[in-house]
Amino acid sequence: MITAEQKPIQEIIQYIAPYGRILLVGCNECVTVCAAGGRKEVGLLASALHLNSLKQGKTIDIKEITLERQCDPEYVEELAPYIDGADAVLSMACGCGVQTVAGRYKKSPVFPAVNTRFMGASLGQGVWAERCKGCGDCVLGITGGICPVARCSKHLLNGPCGGTSNGQCEISPDVDCAWRLIWERLKALGMENRYEDLMNAKDWRPGGAGGPGKIIREDLAQ
Amino acid sequence: MNTESRLEKILASGALAVTSECGPPRGARPEKVKEKAALLKDHVDGINVTDNQTAMVRMSSFAAGIIIKQMGLDPIMQMVSRDRNRLAMQSDIIGAYAFGINTMLCLSGDHAKFGDHPMAQGVFDIDSVQMINMVRRMRDEETFQGGAKIDGAPKMFIGAAANPFADPFELRVMRLAKKIKAGVDFIQTQCIFNLDKFEEWMKGVTDRGLDEKVHILAGITPMKSVGMARYMKNKVPGMDIPDAVIKRLEGVSKEQQPEEGIKMAVESIERIKEIKGVHGFHIMAIEWEEKVPQIVEQAGLYPRPKV
């Protein structure tokens, strides 16, 4: 999923300070799962903003809506009845959602209430870790199911570097060395010899170096 | 012989090679490069010029390498994949070669986290193994990494690093094999303090006959003080400092520690000379370049052969 974290409240307050009527929009997808911008967080943020207004001796009108999917025009359309009644939109979706809303409602200022972080997986209650860089040319099939692009701090395709200490990455004892993990997996699978296959320099175009990514499925596109 | 590199000629002659290193200054002070290089000039076959080591901004290894080359000496230009993409690397390599720099070292580089610009985006377009392969193809196939022909190919003698002490240990010989497959000519190892482990690694290297495919220069660093030894043990990634090293330095007075550190370095060289497959030494006297001649002399590696 795409992970996100709520922005510092002061930054959010600064964005919306000039406005009295706010449309606060959550998303029911990834940001709900990572507890950053779902229905519950929309409610909590609305309360915090109300409280802040009261402290300032002001009032603020906040309309709360959580869309099924904020990166999908079909659902973003549901904001249409409310948009004219708001001075600004505060989005709790990832950057994809914020931009879909901004692209649809061109006259409304749209502000992000979260920082989009990475594509990750849940490691347990309240813990998410980066697992994919979206490089567009998946190597997991030759690295034992562990991604060196996302999980090696230097994206080494022929690692490990010389900085590994006690099986951990040189940047922190809390970060596993991806190549230690790859090696352990290859051993467990009886594929040790695969390690010595040279991995060629990567073509970064599908992952963004070739310009903003776009997929057009001819069979589906209208 | 693939190149005009003095280091290649020394190694081809069968003599034990000696290299050392010089960290460029953190400012536009060419005289500092010259001072350091002058300290080393008669006692080594090549001078590594580090590339923003520990991710601190310094004069580029390319520029400092030219200064050393213009002194009539032999720079070994280090290049890390952290700071350059493949375009910048290749243009610097042909630029350096145009100035007579014919020996280089391909490295990943310390993570930016360790330096004075921890907020920087690391490039890591290609890794050190891919860099070796790129430089070899530039030399032998006269083509750029992208496939186009080079008009005036740089003939670099290609080095890389190896750390026999990093985890997982069992992967470290295979990692060397990978660099050999990519086309590396010589290896400079991480500083060796755990000689038993180094011997074990070298046994793995010679058992596979890898010592016949690559020249291994053993990394030697003299300890200036017990404080330095403790710092390296606890703070420097991938470093293996046995307690015995620290105990020995603790056993002499503070004033005597530098001399003891040099003695230990010389003893290490003497022992490592006996290890099959070692073709030379890379002496990294960190901000202590003036001691390199003494170490080289006491280790019986002086005078340097003429080639």
Q: How many whole angstroms separate alpha carbon B47 and alpha carbon B193?
A: 22
Strand partners, B79: B106
First vs last C-alpha separation in chain A: 27
Q: Give tens-digit pLDDT for B258-280.
A: 999 999 999 999 999 999 999 99
Average pLDDT along chain A:
97
What is the average per-residue pLDDT within A174-185? 96
Give the model's pLDDT for residue B287: 87
Say whether pLDDT at B235 is over 90: no
Residue in A with minimal Cα distance to B183: A198
The CA-based angle B1-B162-B89, given to 5 degrees, is: 65
Q: What's the CATH fold of domain B6-298?
A: TIM Barrel (3.20.20)
Task: Convert the pLDDT of each residue in B4-17 to its tens digit.
Answer: 999 999 999 999 99
Give B115-147 pLDDT, tens digit per residue.
999 999 999 999 999 999 999 999 999 999 999
Integer CA distances (angstroms), B223 to B35, B116, B191, B236, B259, in order: 22, 25, 11, 14, 9
Domain spans, chain B: 6-298
Write out the DSSP string of B216-236.
Answer: EEEEE---S-HHHHHHHHHHS
pLDDT in tens, A45-81: 999 999 999 999 999 999 999 999 999 999 999 999 9
B238 pLDDT above the threshold of 90 = no
Cross-chain Cβ contact A179/B127 below 8 Å: no
Return contacts of A206-215, CB within 8 angstroms, 24+ apart.
Answer: A206/A135, A206/A136, A206/A137, A207/A133, A207/A134, A207/A135, A207/A136, A207/A137, A208/A134, A208/A136, A213/A134, A213/A136
Write down the pLDDT at residue A204: 98
Q: Is B81 on the interface with A (CB under 8 A)?
A: yes
DSSP bridge partners of A23: A63, A89
CB–CB of B163 and A195 under 8 A?
Answer: no
Taking the CA of residue B269 and the nearest CA in chain A, the distance in Å comes to: 22
Question: Residue range B232-239: average pLDDT?
Answer: 88
pLDDT at A27 over 90: yes
Q: Which residues pair with B283 in a beta bridge?
A: B20, B220
User: Predicted ipTM?
Assistant: 0.94
pLDDT single digits (tens) A203-215: 999 999 999 999 9
> Among B82, B106, B111, which would you mutate to test the A interface (most chain A Cβ atoms within 10 Å of its Cβ)?
B111
Rounded alpha-carbon distances, angstroms, from residue B61 to A27, B24, B32, B67, B85: 50, 7, 13, 10, 16
Local structure of A6: helix, strand or coil: strand
Please, are residues A112 and A91 in contact by the beta-carbon 8 Å criterion? yes
Q: Identify residue B291 by its one-letter amino acid code.
A: K
- Residues of chain A in contact with residue B111, where contact means CB-CB under 8 angstroms, are 153-154, 163, 170-171
- Domain A2-118 belongs in CATH node 3.30.2130.10: no
**C-alpha distances out from residue A204 to A139, A215, A217, Å:** 13, 16, 21
10 Å CB burial of residue A85 (0-12, 13-18, 19+) is: exposed
> What's the start-to-end Cα distance of chain B, in Å?
13
* A177: its two tokens: 């060395």
Residue B226 pLDDT more than 90?
A: yes
Q: How confident is the model at residue B32 (pLDDT cuts 50, 70, 90)?
A: very high
> How confident is the model at residue B266, as a pLDDT?
98
Please indicate whether, in this complex, the C-beta atoms of A153 and B111 are within 8 angstroms of each other.
Answer: yes
Identify the pLDDT of residue B167.
Answer: 84
Residue B260 is predicted with a pLDDT of 97
The pLDDT assigned to A210 comes to: 96
Alpha-carbon distance B201 to A158, whole Å? 19
Could you check whether the bond before residue B168 is cis, i.e. omega within 30 degrees of 0?
yes
* Peptide bond just before A160 cis, omega within 30 deg: yes
